[in-house]
Amino acid sequence: MTASALADVAPRRRQFLLLCLGALGVVYGDIGTSPLYALRECFGGEHHLRVDGANVLGILSLVFWALALVVSSKYLAYVLRADNRGEGGVLALMALAMERGAASRAKSPIVIALGLFGAALLYGDGMITPAISVLSAVEGLELVTPAAAQWVVPLTVIILVALFVAQRAGTARVGAVFGPIMLVWFATLALLGARAILRHPSVLAALSPHYAVAFFVANGWLGFLVLGSVFLVVTGGEALYADMGHFGRSPIRRTWLVLVWPALLLNYFGQGALILSSPAALANPFYRSAPSWAVVPLVVLSTAATVIASQAMITGAFSLTRQAMMLGFWPRVRILHTSSSQIGQIYVPSTNWLLMLATVALVLGFRSSAALASAYGIAVTTTMVITALLAHVVARRRWGWSPWSALGVTAAFLVVDLAFLGANATKVAKGGWFPLLVAALVFTAMTTWKRGREVLGERIRAQVVPIEDFFELMHTERPERVPGTAVFMTSNLGAAPPALMSNFLNNRVVHEQIVLLTIVVTERAREPEEHRIEIDDLPLGFTR
């Protein structure tokens, strides 16, 4: 390797490590804070599952295989391959599924409906995730002093408002601050878990799927319902794909395999070991796994981590808004690009403030993480089913997989996804209706806006006059040429803009200088100077 090549390696490696750190702080916050409440909900909540060795090992086995099948296999190995010009998420997947000639367009309405509803569901989840994450951490103050219970909701609201205000700094800066905190968080998860496992190493037997099967056999219908709580350990999985445009595929994969997955497994198994040795710890196994002197620092760290956990869904919502706008399903809104090197790092003010208002309303309405857990999960599980179906279409149309190969992989993932969806469907009457209602409203808005644009476009196209015909008309009609320069926006390079035609027909005047301006959005974060503008001189004082 030459000296110049070696000189290039170090900056690239540094950039890659920075992206990994940013991904740790933004992408993995949601799934990384599930240990705060997931195992507690499996045994507590409304299930009242008996605490014994078989049930603890069964739950831990389900946790391990859920993370292995849903996150590692489905999202990291399979879905992240569906890279739509660097972007991820259900709308990017929908666009990929439709990118194939006329032969496949007959199925496009179904693909579009699935993609839009999946995106709409993620908006609902983006409202619930910050609320349940921060509430679950701040509730740890009640372990320090019961008098703190009255301050949980006000503190949560203050923290959430501060989080949304910080979004304008951009994903890169937010990730640079959050990344080191999450590094400490995952290290703490691993240490707490390893400490408990050393005292009760028999829990490692739960790595065998035998215990998961035995759990269902022993508990029947109750075991199936508990799946709705087990699902809490993978709720951040969809965000890994939605946030791909912010950091790229490789940093997200590497960070999961090297740090996040091992730390999560250690902590879940450590909580299981603690419950086996001390069933009373079930009230809050996460905080009970720490020494008494460490509870207050752990509450502070947990609060910081749960604030960061909200970031994955917030940035995912920004990406979805931009994609919906580019595909014509959303009104044009202000989008700020916050990075000079990563085109996917954006800030959307309107989406940010709407999410903030909805999240604060959820905290004030539900008032506890346990109550919000009933509303959590149904949106994500439905989106995961939609993602599996759209990925099947992409595998067939884009990747050229054989029907049997694509069907086999899709069926394997759907078995898991549909089981989680069925278990979470029981939550609809207890709060799960909220994300479904939000999704229905967003879906209606998207489809209405798209149809409205199509109707308007048809009317405009019916009145379009080719620019050459307009020049002939000027020779014939000889309108008054008034001093000054007029700029007309146009998306059709070969036509006279409707606004220009309206001015010509109604006022019979045309400015001396006319600029026809077309803005093209490229796929690169920064265009070279020589490519930023293209000028064509046209007759009669026109410039395009």
Q: What is the pLDDT of residues 165-221, one digit of tens each?
A: 877 776 666 666 777 888 899 999 999 999 999 988 989 999 999 999 999 999 888
CA distance to 149, 227, 361, 430, per residue, from 373 (Å): 18, 13, 16, 9
Cβ–Cβ < 8 Å for 337, 345:
yes
Query: Residue 5 pLDDT > 70, yes or no?
Result: no
The CA distance from 267 to 192, in Å, is: 6
Q: Assign 356 to helix, strand or coil.
A: helix
SS3 214: helix
Q: What is the mean pLDDT of residues 271-283?
A: 86
- The tally of CA atoms less than 13 A away on the side-chain side of residue 31 is 32
Q: Which two tokens stand for residue 138?
A: 């701040």
Separation between Cα atoms, residue 354 and residue 425, nearest integer Å = 27
Torsion angle, alpha carbons of 84, 88, 94, 99, to 10: 0
Dump pLDDT digits (tens) for 223-249: 888 888 898 898 877 777 877 776 778
Q: What's the 3-state SS for 397-443? A: HCCCCCHHHHHHHHHHHHHHHHHHHHHHHCCHHHCCHHHHHHHHHHH
In three-state secondary structure terms, 242 is: helix
Q: How far is CA 262 from CA 62, 76, 256, in A?
A: 16, 15, 8
What is the pTM for the complete model shown?
0.76
For a pLDDT cut of 70, what percent of the chain falls above it?
A: 90
The candidate with the shortest Cα–Cα distance to 276, out of 185, 191, 204, is 204
Which residue type does 509 have?
A: V
